[in-house]
Chains A and B, each alone.
Chain A
Amino acid sequence: MNQLPQGGKGARRGATPRWQRLLRWLPLDLWRGMALTFRRQAPSAVYTEQYPLQRPVVADRFRGAPRLNNDFETGETLCIACNLCALACPENLIVVGAQRNAQNRKELTFFTYDLSRCMFCGLCEDVCPTDALELTQDFELAAYSREGAIWDRQMLENGPTPKRYEK
């Protein structure tokens, strides 16, 4: 009854028996549709995610806000200011600032990351030799100005702090 016609009109006539053609006068498909919408209105079937109240679960391999990791024992940054991320970045949006200290070691002075140009390709985190730079699962990157999208070292170390709502 609800199948697509196969071939010409004659073929369809031959395929469906007479009693099925009579069934067409009972709009069964209408009743079936109404049964479907009736079943779907159960509150448990609701698919909407009430975003600020309910937070979405992002995929494991989601690449979101960048983060500069610190050594969790000493609290010092893992970044050795090697500049590889800045070189790897196709958008040239990372700027790494460093200074030689008394032991002639490079020390990180500043680190800026322009999120407004970032395409989250993940090349920077791939190339980082000390796993200092990492793209996390945080996705709330909105800012009130273009300058707000340029994250400095402190912002990169702390990560975004969105307002949490209670349901």
Chain B
Amino acid sequence: MSGTGLEIRGLTKRFGGLVAVNRFDLAVAPGEIVGLIGPNGAGKTTVFHLVAGFHGPSEGLIHFDGVSLVGLKPHAICRHGLARTFQLVQPFAGLTTLENVMVGAFNRVGDVAKARVRAAEIVDFVGLGPRRDTPARHLTLADRKRLEVARGLATEPRLLLLDEVMSGLNPTEIEAIIGLIRRIHSRGVSLLIIEHVMRAILALSHRLVVLHHGEKIAEGPPAAVARDPRVIEAYLGEAVEETR
């Protein structure tokens, strides 16, 4: 079962005449943290939608730990050990923090009492302990981002896709999320992260992949990718300045 990680080959998605993702290759090995970056509209979120089963690819292969994910529904992909968060947070607004996470926990635990215990553990782990019984609609944006992560984590994924969990957060909150991501990684979860906060993605990623107009234009160690002239030309210019 476990072993090969995520493998994407020749992934293409067309929406009518628009090619959102074009012959994209990507691998995420077990234990790896890969950053997926690129300008707005580069196709990053589309890649997530394709991998998590929200869209069907026009062409290409998506394998995760030896199983093809193409054609599987999102819940089946989640049960197979691949969870995602949403860029625009999607909490179950009427449910409490704990109940939100319990929904995820039911993937691995059938029993309600056990799911509650499991979910409570994860709520504490992401630092939402004090907000446990608060309805999700009353959470701050930073807490909702944590809730997204907690709900994904509760499904016990081997690979977690994080879609801009830091956007809209202040520097203190970003530091806290970086710490959280490191702790998630140390639990043995591999991560594929879309992020615009360059400082964070450079610090976290083992490897960076750059998407531009739906195509991969660079891949490699974060420092090397950040210096790549093609990448800078595509969009990184100002962001790289920021990191100095």
Q: Do A and B come from one complex?
A: no
Residues of A at the B interface (CB closer than 8 Å) are none
Residues of B at the A interface (CB closer than 8 Å) are none
